[in-house]
Structure 1
Amino acid sequence: MTKSRWHIARDGDTLTLSRLARARFDVSASTELPDGGRLAVAQQVRQDMWRALQTLRGFAPVVTVCRQGGVLHVTAGGQVDGPVAKAHVQAAIQGVLDDPTRRARWLRHANRGRAAA
């Protein structure tokens, strides 16, 4: 069996999924979603963000999902080693977070994985 390359940290109502053990946000964007499984949402957001930014050299994705008042507060982004046009990268991440088709898929997965997270 292979070891997962992703670090999952839980701190109360906050779950952080990161590529590196020390999660750092050099670039980020945020959104809110209806309550659901935090890990399922984090994994889906990370996957879509990676697909959108896979050509960005030195990028280590991070997704934080915090449950507050029946809402999931999602922050997606990560660490970038080297120079980067932050505004461009943040706009790309925000575009992923605001896409209605992706959001609907995330919610379907979140409701399936709710008991696990």
Structure 2
Amino acid sequence: MSKSRWHILRDGDTLTLCRQLPARFDVAARTVLPDGGRAAVAHQVRQDMWRALQNLRGFTPVVEVRRENGQLYVTAGGQMAGPIAKQVIETAIQDVLDSPKRRARWVAHATRRQVRPS
């Protein structure tokens, strides 16, 4: 089994998933989801964001998930090496976050991951 190359940082109610430290948001988009497993949501969002932006050279995804008032506040984006078209990239990320099909999958996955047998 290979070692994960992703850093998972936990600070209270905030979880950050990043490839490089320190995590940095050169571009970002935001959404709110129902409460569930933060790590599960972060990984699912990161995967879908990466699929949408995989041809963007120099992009390194970062996802932050913060639990507050029974909801998950998700910031998705990342670091860019070199010049960027910030508005275009942020719109592409927001499109990923606003997709009803993806959101339903993330919530279902996060709900399953949160319920663990005792």
Residue aligning to 2:34: 34
Question: Which amino acid is 1:81 matched to?
Answer: A
What TM-score, normalized by structure 2, do the two folds share?
Answer: 0.96
Residue 90 of structure 1 pairs with residue 110 of structure 2? no
Whole-Å separation in 2 of the counterparts to 1:44 and 1:2? 19
Cα shift at 1:46: 0.2
* Secondary structure at 1:2 match in 2: coil
Residue aligning to 2:57: 57
Whole-Å separation in 2 of the counterparts to 1:17 and 1:115? 21
Q: Percent identity?
A: 68
Cα shift at 1:115: 4.7
How many residues end up aligned between the 2 structures? Answer: 116
Q: Aligned-residue CA RMSD in angstroms?
A: 1.0
1:1-117 matches, cutoff 5 A? 1-115=1-115
Cα shift at 1:2: 1.5
Q: Give deviations 1:64-85, integer Å, cap 9, x for gaps.
A: 0000000100000000001110
What TM-score, normalized by structure 1, do the two folds share?
Answer: 0.96
Gaps of 5+ in 2: none
Cα shift at 1:26: 0.2
